[in-house]
Structure 1
Amino acid sequence: MLKDLFVKKKKYAAIPSEHAKQDVPEGIMTKCSNCKKIMYSKELIKNLKVCMNCDHHHPMTAYERISSLLDEDTFIEYDKDMISKNPLDFPDYVSKLEKDRQKTKLNEAVVTGEGEISGIRLVIAVMDSSFRMGSMGSVVGEKITRAIEKAKELKVPFLIFTASGGARMQEGVLSLMQMAKTSSALKLFSDQKGLIISVMTHPTTGGVSASFASLGDYNFAEPRALIGFAGRRIIEQTIREELPDDFQTSEFLLKHGQLDSVIHRHEMKDTLGNILDLHQVGGEFDDR
């Protein structure tokens, strides 16, 4: 009939059915935790996980960071199969570790190995906050210490990216011991004129910030990273004063002389390459 030729259009879009929602692949979109803008996950990853709207630096996995920094096909991983035990018989610790292994495809909260940046060989350690919040347990300390010792053996620079909530409470004093162990390894490396570059990312706190993260010849950080030892509320309650809004950010630390520079992620590889090149003499590592 004639009336069927004229169909009144709906003013409002229909709400997608549950079946339609399921057709959208999970993880295809990402909402920025800072500005709340929604963007395609692939575009965000392509931009090194830096928000295209507000420049917020989203967390990177250890392998994503290694891929963004090292020359292609130069990375050789160390101690990949090293895993944590449960020396204190802490309840549910083993099952939580296993859950994190399945979720992150990592065996621990740090990835170590060797590779090249701009053709210059180095040893690298990258912490990953997605595994137990990057907490420092016995294996994390051992892997970092072995990486430092390998850099000393090879006479190449040591580069570390930190991201951690601090010492791992499930391992008690064994975790705290890693502060001294890693710091001692760095001191021995430094005594042999080894070059140490530390880059602190969000967050770097607790025992990690108080040990190897702050012992570089160069101490850098990504923009707006949280860096500190105790929490903000604890400090305010202790000193009975209100702290500045930017307290414990990389910019605050830079302003007060605790960092050498705050480096944007897009500039990180070139900056590190320039520094490594400065410490080369005749194509060999300068150990003067």
Structure 2
Amino acid sequence: MAWFKRTDKGIKTSTEEKKDAPDGLWFKTPQGNIIHTRELKNNSYVCPDDDYHVKIGSKEYFEILFDNNQFKELDANMTSGDPLNFTDSKPYPARIEATIKKTDLKDAVRSAVGKIDGQDIVIACMDFNFIGGSMGSVVGEKIARAIDHSLKNKIPFLMISKSGGARMMEAGFSLMQMAKTSAKLSLLDDAKIPYISLLTDPTTGGVTASYAMLGDFNIAEPGALIGFAGPRVIRETIGKDLPKGFQSSEFVLEHGFLDFIIDRRQLKSRLSTLLRLLKN
């Protein structure tokens, strides 16, 4: 019965020497499903057990979409100024500097030119980790310049939105980006160059009220929050309970504001097919 008795020959690892599993090795979805991060990455950051789309940024979207992750980044070093000398809990420039160090991003959008299945495309992708993906002067300017690149080279433009809205630290300068980007997109329309808008979780505020909803095709990922004001604000304003699934991409599609919803695992192939259809 020695199997059931502790002996002195067992493993003797001190508490100090025991090591936990590395952080980030596993991911748990809101539904409670657990998946290894390597498998998650290989599955385009979608959990296969419940189809939960993990929130990702420009780095991951570029890896998924650009052929062999090869692209040329546009205006990579553009950073925000402080036109209003804004100070809240800390000066705006200090917050920008701290966020750059924390995220290794220059601002809330990156733009690049590359190929999807051999087809040229310009992609601008927002990053929510940079001050909530807020739209400031740099975001508007980089999107405008990305559109200019599409116009100059006559290649399609894809905008991937993920934002909490306008950046309060730039006030009116931020709101001006709505008109600026919308005007630029009208030039794409005049030139008959395709513009595809992909709305991801969340897409809200002034971004929704401008370039995110102006695509020749407006598409979204499953379960994304899409709207202008948040559900709580709307509920308190109208004094009524909101419909089930209100402001989800499925709800928005049902009410005619989206063309279709696309699973991220099929995103590249579906975009490639759409680009070929538009080209022909």
What's the TM-score once normalised by structure 1's chain length? 0.89
| Cα distance, 1:237 vs structure 2 | 2.0
Match of 1:40, as an amino acid? H
Task: Return the alpha-carbon distance in structure 1 between the equivalents of residues 92 and 32 of structure 2.
Answer: 34
**How many Å separate the matches in 2 of 1:194 and 1:18?**
63
Aligned AA (1:25): P
**Offset of residue 7 of structure 1:** 5.6
Deviations 1:173-214 (A, max 9, x none): 111110010001001111111211000000000000100000
Give the 3 Å change call, closer, same or farther, for CA 17–206 of structure 1 in structure 2: farther
Partners of 1:146 and 1:125 lie apart in 2 by: 10
Which residue of structure 2 aligns with residue 48 of structure 1? 44
Aligned mates of 1:176, 1:249 — CA distance in 2? 25
Q: CA deviation at 1:127?
A: 0.7
Aligned to 2:252: 253
Change beyond 3 A, Cα 1:205–1:17: farther
The answer for unaligned runs of 5 or more in structure 2 is 8-12
> What is the aligned residue count?
272
Question: AA paired with 1:45?
Answer: K
Q: Once superposed, what is the RMSD of the aligned Cα atoms?
A: 2.0
Match of 2:158, SS state, is strand
Residues 215-251 of structure 1 show CA distances to partners (whole Å, capped at 9, x for unaligned) of 0000000000000001112212222221112000000
Partner residue, 2:57: 61
Give the equivalent residue in structure 1 for 2:197.
198
What secondary structure sits across from 1:224 in the alignment?
A: coil
- Offset, 1:132: 1.1
- Correspondent of 2:25 among 18, 23, 28: 28
Which residue number corresponds to residue 5 of structure 2? 8
Sort the Cα spacing of 1:195 and 1:62 in 2 relative to 1 into closer, same or farther, 3 A: same
Q: Percent identity?
A: 47
Alpha-carbon separation, structure 2, partners of 1:222 and 1:21: 42
Match of 1:83 among 71, 79, 82: 79
Structure-2 separation of matches of 1:166 and 1:133: 8
Superposed displacement of residue 93, structure 1: 2.0
Aligned residue type for 1:109: A
What secondary structure sits across from 1:199 in the alignment? Answer: strand
Q: Indicate how the Cα distance of structure 1 residues 18 and 167 shifts in structure 2: closer, same or farther if over 3 A, else same.
A: farther
Partner of 2:131: 132
Structure 1 match to 2:226: 227
Q: For residue 121 of structure 2, what is the amino acid of its counterpart? A: L
Structure 1 segments, 4+ long, off by >6 Å, are none
**Which residue of 1 is the match for residue 10 of structure 2?**
none
Match of 1:243, SS state, is: coil
Counterpart CA distance in 2 for 1:196 and 1:60 is 22
1:73 deviates by 5.1
Instruction: Give 5+ residue unaligned stretches, structure 1.
Output: 11-15, 282-288
Q: Deviations over 1:94-144 (max 9, x none)?
A: 222222212221111111011111111111101111111111010001000
Secondary structure of 2:114's partner?
Answer: strand
1:39-188 to 2 correspondence within 5 Å? 39-72=35-68, 74-91=70-87, 92-188=91-187
Task: Note closer, same or farther for the CA distance 1:217–1:98 as it changes in structure 2 (3 Å cut).
Answer: same
- Letter aligned with residue 225 of structure 2: L
* TM-score, length basis structure 2: 0.91
CA change 1:21–1:244 in 2 (3 A) is: farther
CA apart distance, 1:26: 2.1
